[in-house]
Amino acid sequence: MPSADAYVVHHITNLRLPKGSDQMDPWVIHLDTMIVSWVLGIFLLTFLIMVARRVTAGIPGGLQNFVELLVDFVDNSVKETFHGPRNFVGPLALTIFCVVLLWNLMDLVPVDWVPYAVCQSGLAGYFRIVPSADINATFGLSITVLGLIMLYGVKGKGLVGYGKELLTHPFGANPLLWIPNLVLNVVELVSKTVSLAMRLFGNLYAAELIFILIALLPWWIQFIPGGAWAIFHILVVPLQAFLFMTLTIVYLSLAYEKH
């Protein structure tokens, strides 16, 4: 049985490429995050295609009801917040919500199952299955949102209009204020990106760590704190997905609309 610190370090270490590289190296590929994300993406796509092929105009089945409720929920959220063309924002919001939700649900899988299976198979020594507990994944998603914010700023105001807003908002159009305006707007864009990524990462990393610490307890008592934490965490999982989706819609709306 490894020591407690070795056990925790093992469970929070990613499967990295190149092998043996530093955990915090920004140029390292976290294979486990990519593999789990691809598997979840394929599962989501397969699930939605299966439901779409079984759609009926009559009495809908349980899966159709579930998907329709989910789509209506996301669509209403977009309608209430984003007042521009929604042909892209709606599907984007639905995709973000579903992907982040599936990422977060992986935290409810017992912490030893997948790492133990991977280690016993000889494929790798480490394997994490919670992509949202990997800061690379959350920042990858938030940087994508940052690119869309800038794109929708140009789409809503035009390239000249968006550039003018960066230089003249919020202090005014005086040329002496252009640099302070630009600095403040850049800080705002960066803070949106960081807050999106760190909120999701921080909550799921902390939840994963608590599950790992609970797993250090004797097996006959683990189910008491583990079950209680899992029940509480079930509320956190969809909440974090909802917050990421809602903030994305809000940021796109703010970028698109004129001030």
Residues annotated as part of the active site: 195, 199, 203
Q: Which of 167, 140, 142, 166 is CA-nearest to residue 255?
A: 166
CA distance 158 to 221: 61
Question: Residue 125 has what DSSP assignment?
Answer: S
| Amino acid (one-letter) located at 12 | I
Q: Which of 231, 218, 146 is CA-nearest to residue 189?
A: 146
Q: Which helix (H) or strand (E) holds 108?
A: none
Distances in Å between the Cα of 116 and the Cα atoms of 71, 82, 122, 203 are: 37, 45, 10, 24
Q: Which of 67, 10, 41, 78 is CA-nearest to residue 252?
A: 78
For residues 154 and 34, the answer to whether their CB atoms sit within 8 Å is no
| Residues whose CB falls within 8 Å of the CB of residue 255, separated by 6 or more in sequence, listed in order | 149, 150, 152, 153, 156
